[in-house]
Structure 1
Amino acid sequence: RPPRSKLTSEIKLHLCGSYFDLDKELLASKSARIAKILRENPQENLSVSLHDIPADSETIEIVAKFCHGFDVDLTPENAVPVICAAHYLAMTESHCPDNLQNRAVVYFQREVLPSWTNCLKALKNSVNLLHHAAKLGLLDLCVDSVVAMVREDPRLLGDPLRDGEMPTSYRPNPRRKLFDLCWKSEDLTSLPLELYEPIVESLVLNRVPGEFIASNLCEYARTWLFSGDDDDTPMYETRSKRLTVEALVRMLLPDGGKKGSDPPIVVPSPILFRLLRYAVALEATAECRSRLETAIGRQLDRATPADLMIPSRGYSKGEKYDTECVRRILKNFYCSYAAAEAEDGGGSRLTRVSELIEEFLAEISSDGGTKISTFTEFAEMSAAAASSTGRSCDGIYRAVDIYLERHREMTKSEREELCKVVDCSRMSGEALQHAAQNERLPVRVVVQALFVVQLKLRETVASRRVEATERQKREEEEEEVEEEEEEEEEEDEAVRAEIEKMGSKVMELEKECCMMRREIESSRQQQQQKVSVWKEVKRKFGCVGTAAKNDCNCHVKKKK
């Protein structure tokens, strides 16, 4: 139950645009500042003394309730304002135990800092108290807490941005929805620029992956720049948007487009071109536009013809599109392309840019405000790019034809000057046929087109003759080869016949050898048989052996 105050101590304060009926004794019991003021001068007008209190009417009401003994409801939204007001009023523990400042600080530490959503809510509601909150260190605590949570889970910033891909619409990370019970779609992109930029700078210093930071920056641009009708934007919002563009460019392109210091992620070309359009329309600083032009030039091969259609601010006085800006972008591309070609080649990039220039040339050729000098300069750039890639000049001829159709008031000398960029020798046959019958072209160009047609016709006839001669030569060579193959086959047949003949002779010789072998064997057996009979006769007469040979002969002789 709140204590009752004496009627003599009641005062009416006018603070923050509202009136409050308060008890100054109860205020002094909780606030050392008010107590000191009343001690020095009990009749002091507190409305004047407290005119610079860093609070709004809602915060003053919370302070008044607390001083009068009522319970106060601290929330993430009012925690920072209450701490700032309590600090201003010196509502410290040394003046009164369990005072408001300590109670709010404890709530801030326990309920706000550990929660992603509560941190962002607290930051959003401290915009009008930035100086006081920063002085008390509250902003640094919130920023450090947010950065720590992002380092642990970078997807709190949204889906990562891949090189050159357009970011999808922001979808809160499921992890945040699951573990943060008070989740209400709070995101960094909901913060105003003066709070958002320091957080991003801290994320970069803490080496959070660049693809997550770039994705969040692109979403921030869509939230704060690319929404609403820009034609009805008030002047104060125009200034705010200009500051936003310049800050986003600083954060997306921290290197300033310097050579050899590429950004951590390739920002999609549509985002860069859209930022450039806003930078031009809002008259951003020259440094801001230069950074964008340099970044776009380094990845110009990723752009589309529509991206280059940057409206000119002085359209009523001159050209419809900002050709000077496109010229600077092309210059940046050629500088980066020369370096890339020296390192690892880049022919495909140059081909895409050559096609892009031709499309842009065709678009500006239909603009009645396009000067001949401007058109000629871009046509020469396109011709140089087409020559380097070996492409035809049909696109340049088409743009010249459109320009002549749109600017019929041109003099003969102007048409002659314009058509110098047309190189008939590098046009296709279809384009040459069209040029030969084009009444808008100067006679010189028509004659040149006819000459090139005749020249190409001669070359075609000559090449066909050469092809016919070569074909006939190949046929003759093929016939000679066939004849040689036939002769080789005949020789092979003769060799095979001779081999077969020799084989038959060998077989006959083998047969004769076999017969002779059998005859020799039979004669040998007969001879052995005769020798064995004679030995038997000698045995019977006892003349076996060589020693008894003479004796045997002697016995026979005696019988005679």
Structure 2
Amino acid sequence: MDRITQWVSSQEVPADLTIRIADSSFPLHKAVMVPRCGYIRRAIAAATKDPSAAVELDLSSLPGGADAFEKAARYCYGANFEITARNAAALRCAAAFLDMQHPADLARRVDEFLAQAGLRALPSAVTVLRSCEALLPAAEELGVVRRAADAVALRICNEALFPTRSPPGWWTAELAALSPASFQKVVTALRCRRADPEVLANAASAYAELTLAEVLADPRDREDQRALLESVVDVLPSAADAPIPAAFLCRLLHAAVTTEASAKTCRDLELRVAAVLDQATVGDLLGVALDGAGEHVRNTDTVRRVIAAFVERQAAASEGGRSRRASLSGGAELDSGAAMEKVAKTVDELAAEIATEESLAISKFVGVAGAVPKEARASHDCLYRAVDIYLKTHPELDEIEREKVCSVMDPLKLSYQARLHASQNKRLPLQAVLSALYYDQLKLRSAAGAGDDDTQSAAGKARAQARADASLARENEALRSELARMRAYLSGVQPSKGSGSSPSPAAKKTSFLGSVSRTLSRLNPFKGGWAKDTASVADGRDGRKDMHVVRPKRRRSSIS
């Protein structure tokens, strides 16, 4: 197909140079093209020795194709044409390929356009950069790609600092037109300009968001979706350079799993999500666990790997915080502990959500709920709720299977209300119920023991003294009773001894009673002084002169 029209001024002169580019044909004149194009001059010299012979050249390898060559030929013929942001890069590459020299210096004209207009605004700079995607590697060798990417980065930084449109983030939509490779060059340019991390994060999130929407909405085959998604993940900035929101990373991970992206892409996204897992919500993780239709729980292994990666990061951070404890004063450990507690609560709520899935295997549930260490939770009430929901949804489980489900929680870390509920929960295995009851009993005993310990020092001596006083009182009462019986006995014996007719038996009895009286006198600890001899009572009135007093020795008697 001939591509020449009225711009060929010498149409009356037969064409002696034919340029073919793909399906297009350009009948031209050597007298016009040879002086201005070094490439054509050398090609004609190599093709024929006869200067007047007609020559046909194939320039299908020319960057920009037939459109770029047509404008270059028009320029050689002095015809008018317009340089725009869409064709500037192609004209620059075509001029370099054709070796267009002075006075037909098309390359200089294109460079002036780029500096004065093409790269002065963000939309036109993005257009130039996008047009370079079909001109590689020529556009990159000529520096057009670098200039365009740097111009885009500069305009983004300016818009972030001094917005010129409303809303302030309008520029993020402009990036959606770029390919992942071109966006990567923009990110590199932003880093070179030391752009704010928030700007990098916004640019990356917006670009990936728009690309993700295109992937999910485009009815193309799975291979194209997978390739586009993998390329987008490859160009995302690192978490240190630009922390991307956890919600979007979870959506990106779900799309990667749904489109069956490569293991490298999925693992990269899992590590990215793990780095910001403390910012994720239950809905974010649940979105990862659901299938492509969002109806059933299918991707629990992905969620488990994300949680495991987070736990490993926290363990490494805690180890590093302990090694720098002197300089950081333990701040890193505190932050790590707070993040772990937050993630543990999120995982417990997630386990309660996925527990309602009837087809969820025990190993899948235990893998997610048990991914966080038990000691990371101050209370296991939320985890107990998840376990109870799973047991209620799966009533056909036997005792061993229920024990495996309950193995993710520690009954000793349940609150009083939760233990009370667990002790009456018929769905729990017997071992879990006994553990809850045992802990309550143990706690009560510990509380009683603690109370005894608190009062022992104050009341121990008082109780010991009371026991000693009671023992002494009982001994005293026994002695008083014995003394009263002896007095009654003596009062009945005294009248029969007044006659004195039989001294021998009286003397014997007097001797016996006197010994008893003296013994009782020595045993009585409450009666001091001297005791009288009862033998004087048996002698009557006439025996006063013979009466004598027995003075027993003082003896210290112990009452203990």
**Contact map agreement 1:155 1:212 (CA 8 A) in 2:** no
Task: Report the counterpart of residue 247 of structure 1 in structure 2.
Answer: 234
CA drift at 1:304: 0.9
Alignment partner, residue 141 of structure 2: 135
Listed as ranges, the gaps of 5+ residues in structure 1 are 160-172, 178-182, 254-262, 474-560
The letter of the residue matching 2:114 is F
Q: Secondary structure at the match of 1:410?
A: coil
Query: Is the Cα contact below 8 Å between 2:253 and 2:288 reproduced in 1?
Result: no
Contact 2:274 2:306 in 1 (8 A): yes
Deviation at 1:448, TM superposition (A): 4.8
Partner of residue 15, structure 2: 9
The one-character-per-residue Cα deviations of 1:55-79 (angstroms, maximum 9, x if unpaired) are 2333233223223331121122211
Identity %: 28
1:368-422 Cα offsets, whole Å, 9 max, x none, are 343323433444445x44x44422x222222222222222332232223333445
Say which SS state the counterpart of residue 356 (structure 1) adopts.
Answer: helix
Give, in angstroms, the shift of residue 221 of structure 1.
0.6
Aligned to 1:267, which of 221, 237, 244?
244
Alignment of 1:59-98 (within 5 A): 59-93=68-102, 97-98=103-104
- Corresponding position: 1:357 with 2:347: yes
Q: Which residue of 2 aligns with 1:541?
A: none
Deviations 1:263-283 (A, max 9, x none): 144321112222322333344
Deviation by residue 1:6-33 (Cα, 9 ceiling, x = unmatched): 3422776542433445445433353333
C-alpha displacement of 1:216: 0.8
Q: Say if 2:42 is the partner of 1:33.
A: no
Residues 1:371 and 1:455: Cα distance change in structure 2 (over 3 Å): same
Q: Distance in 2 between matches of 1:352 and 1:205?
A: 36
Task: Please give the per-residue CA displacement for 1:171-220, whole angstroms capped at 9, x wherever unaligned.
Answer: xx63479xxxxx99984443222222123123223422222112111111
> Following the alignment from structure 1 to structure 2, what is the Cα–Cα distance between the partners of residues 236 and 301?
33
Contact 2:369–2:408, Cα closer than 8 Å, also in 1: yes
Distance 1:9 1:230, change over 3 A: closer
Which among 96, 107, 126 is matched to residue 113 of structure 2? 107
Which residue pairs with 1:218 in the alignment? 205
Q: Secondary structure at the match of 1:9?
A: coil
Distance (whole Å) between structure 2 residues aligned to residue 371 and residue 79 of structure 1? 60
SS of the equivalent of 1:73 reads coil
Structure 2 unaligned regions, length at least 5: 1-6, 322-329, 460-560
Q: Please name the residue that 2:363 is paired with.
A: 373
Match of 1:336?
313
2:378 to 390, 394, 406: 390
Q: Does 1:303 align with 2:258?
A: no
**Which amino acid in structure 2 is aligned with residue 154 of structure 1?**
C
Instruction: Give the deviation of 1:49 after TM superposition.
Output: 2.3
Partner of 2:506: none
Does the alignment pair 1:416 with 2:385?
no
Q: C-alpha deviations, 1:494-551, integer Å up to 9, x for none? A: xxxxxxxxxxxxxxxxxxxxxxxxxxxxxxxxxxxxxxxxxxxxxxxxxxxxxxxxxx
Whole-angstrom distance in 2 between the partners of 1:315 and 1:340: 35
Contact 2:63 2:93 in 1 (8 A): yes
Q: Alpha carbons of 1:366 and 1:176: their partners in 2 closer, same or farther (altered >3 Å)?
A: closer
CA contact (8 A) 1:394 1:427 kept: yes
Going from structure 1 to structure 2, the CA distance change for 1:231 and 1:431 (only over 3 Å counts) comes to farther
Cα distance between partner residues in 1 of 2:259 and 2:314: 30
3-state SS of the aligned residue for 1:30?
coil
What secondary structure, in the 3-state scheme, does the structure 1 residue paired with 2:194 have? coil
Whole-Å Cα distance in 1 between the matches of residues 398 and 149 of structure 2? 66
TM-score w.r.t. the length of structure 1 is 0.65
Partner Cα distance (2:133, 2:424) in 1: 70
Could you tell me how far 1:455 is from its partner in structure 2? 6.8
Q: CA separation in 1, counterparts of 2:359 and 2:210?
A: 35
Change (3 A) 1:388 1:281: closer
Give the AA of the match of 1:394.
D
Task: Give the distance between the partners of 2:62 and 2:369, measured in 1 at CA.
Answer: 66
> Which secondary structure state, in structure 1, belongs to the residue aligned with residue 135 of structure 2?
helix
What letter is aligned with 1:222? E
| Whole-angstrom CA distance in 2 between matches of 1:206 and 1:184 | 18
Q: CA RMSD of the aligned region, Å? A: 4.0
Verify the 8 A CA contact 1:376 1:421 in the aligned structure 2.
Answer: yes
Whole-Å Cα distance in 2 between the matches of residues 295 and 442 of structure 1?
Answer: 39
Match of 1:124, SS state, is helix
Does the Cα contact within 8 Å between 1:79 and 1:122 map onto a contact in 2? yes
Provide the C-alpha distance between the structure 2 equivalents of 1:439 and 1:231, rounded to a whole number of angstroms: 51
Q: Taking structure 1 as reference, are residues 235 and 424 closer, same or farther at Cα in structure 2, changes over 3 Å only?
A: closer
The structure-2 alpha-carbon separation of the partners of 1:437 and 1:222, relative to structure 1 and needing over 3 Å to count, comes to: same
1:209 has 2:186 as partner: no
Q: In the aligned structure 1, how far is the partner of 2:307 from the partner of 2:370?
A: 12
Instruction: Tell me whether 1:403 sits opposite 2:390 in the alignment.
Output: yes
Label 1:176 to 1:377 Cα distance change in 2 as closer, same or farther (>3 A): closer
2:157 aligns with 154
The number of equivalent residue pairs is 430
